[in-house]
Amino acid sequence: MKTGIGIFIAAACALGSSWCGLVLAPTLQLGGAKLEPVLNSSDMYPVQRTGDATLGLQIYRANGCAACHTEQVQQDGVACEVSLTGLGKNQADDFKRFAQSLQSLPEWQDFDKELAADFVNWNGTLPQVVIAKTDKETADKMADLLKAAGCKSETRVYAFGSDIARGWGVRHSVAADFLYDNPVQLGSIRAGPDLANVGVRLPDANIQLQHLYAPSAVAKNSTMPAFRYLFEVRKIGDAPSSSAVTLPKEFAPAAGYEVVPKPEAKELVDYLLSLRANVPLYEAPFTPVIAKP
């Protein structure tokens, strides 16, 4: 009997240890998480959602969207890239020769192929990537070298990986992205695309509505079920409703009818458009691309 009690206590301790480790410790570490500063900016992240988007999160929950969609972009790593933005007093051909001369130097031998391939057919267009997928130290060294040669260069930090290459996001998802979510629905299956950054990727509300009403109208051969119950097909009254969804011909309702989203559909789209994990943070750095006017 004594061994029985001993085993029971050992078991309770073993089970309790996981409770302390995976429930108590994360609560203490992250339970009081606050807004995080955006890198190189005075802004704080994340921004509270609008009322409709917050309601939309509940539509997302109630319809079990997380059964097929994740909200977590992953990356394989972060790298630096140095690109040439100005030649200064040099000529393009001079620079070409300069780049080729670097190949023979032992410290640039690792970048042998890039330096060669990138500059063979280069006709002087700027900006031109000099080295990519490198660490900070090497990038700085190259930047110094270019500066010494009288050229202008830019060093960019970027995340890479298959999710990033698919355009699902610009950096991996981090804890701060989910500060305002309740419930937090990270999802575990990608039967559909990742949605962590869908508000940036597909910012058109009408396309989102089309996609909910008839997924194959937007994505061919989509396996997503249609969510027609979030819409109302009704007779056009005196004038067409301003919120009616414009649909391609084969998905449009009969003549004289229009498809009007119910409030749930609008809120859900507001929520989807509020998914914008696109600012650099301390634990997920990258250099934002500033769109040139």
Partner 1 sequence: MNLNENKISPDAEINASLRVSLLALFGGAAVWLVVALLLGIAASLTFHLPDMFADCSCLTYGHAAPAANDALLYGFCIPAGLGVILWIIARLGQTPLALPIVPVVAANLWNLGVLIGLVGILFGQTSGHTWLEFCRASSVLLFTAFILIAVTAGATFGARRERELHPAHWFLFAALLWFPWIFATANLLLAPNQPVRGVVQPIIGWWFANNLVFVWTALVGIGIAFYLLPKIAARPLATTGYALFAFLTLIFFGSWCGIPIGAPVPAWLPTVSRVAGALLIMPLIAVAIIVVKTVCGAKVSCFGGPFSFTRFGIGSFIVSGLMDVAEICPRHSHVAEFTWFGPAQVQLQLLGFFAMIVFGAVYELLPGVMNRPLPFPKLAKTHFFLSLAGVALLVIPLAIGGIIQGIKLHDANISLADVNASTLLYFRISTTGQLFLLMGALLFTLNIFVMTIQWKIALFKTAFAAITAPLPASEVKA
**Ranges within 168-207 binding partner 1 (CB under 8 A):** 172-179, 181-193
Answer yes or no whether residue 162 interacts with partner 1 by CB under 8 A. Answer: yes
CA nearest to 170, candidates 181, 158, 180, 179: 158
Piece in contact with partner 1 (CB under 8 A), picked from 14-22, 89-97, 100-108, 110-118 = 14-22
| Smallest distance from partner 1 to CB 265, Å | 12
Give the number of residues in contact with partner 1, rule: CB under 8 A: 71
| Smallest distance from partner 1 to CB 212, Å | 10
**Contact set for partner 1, span 205-244 (CB under 8 A):** 215-216, 219-229
Taking a C-beta distance cutoff of 8 angstroms, is the pair 244, 265 a contact? Answer: no
CA angle 76, 175, 48 (to 5 degrees): 125
Answer yes or no whether residue 96 interacts with partner 1 by CB under 8 A. Answer: no
CB contact set of 178 (below 8 Å; sequence gap of 6+):
71, 184, 186
Answer yes or no whether residue 287 interacts with partner 1 by CB under 8 A. Answer: no
Answer yes or no whether residue 30 interacts with partner 1 by CB under 8 A. Answer: yes
Binding letters toward partner 1, positions 50-89, x by CB under 8 A: -----------xxxxxxxx-x-x-x---------------
Answer yes or no whether residue 21 interacts with partner 1 by CB under 8 A. Answer: yes
Among 11, 44, 117, 129, binds partner 1 (CB under 8 A): 11
Among 91, 107, 165, 203, binds partner 1 (CB under 8 A): 165
- Give the span between the Cα atoms of 227 and 76, in whole angstroms: 34
Please state whether 235 falls in left (phi above 0), alpha (psi between -120 and 50) or beta.
Answer: beta
- Give the span between the Cα atoms of 172 and 158, in whole angstroms: 11
- Give the span between the Cα atoms of 178 and 181, in whole angstroms: 5
Which of residues 21 and 124 has its CB atom nearest to partner 1 in the complex?
Answer: 21
CA nearest to 39, candidates 278, 276, 282, 288: 282
Answer yes or no whether residue 248 interacts with partner 1 by CB under 8 A. Answer: no
Instruction: Give the three-state DSSP class for 132.
Output: strand
Answer yes or no whether residue 253 interacts with partner 1 by CB under 8 A. Answer: no
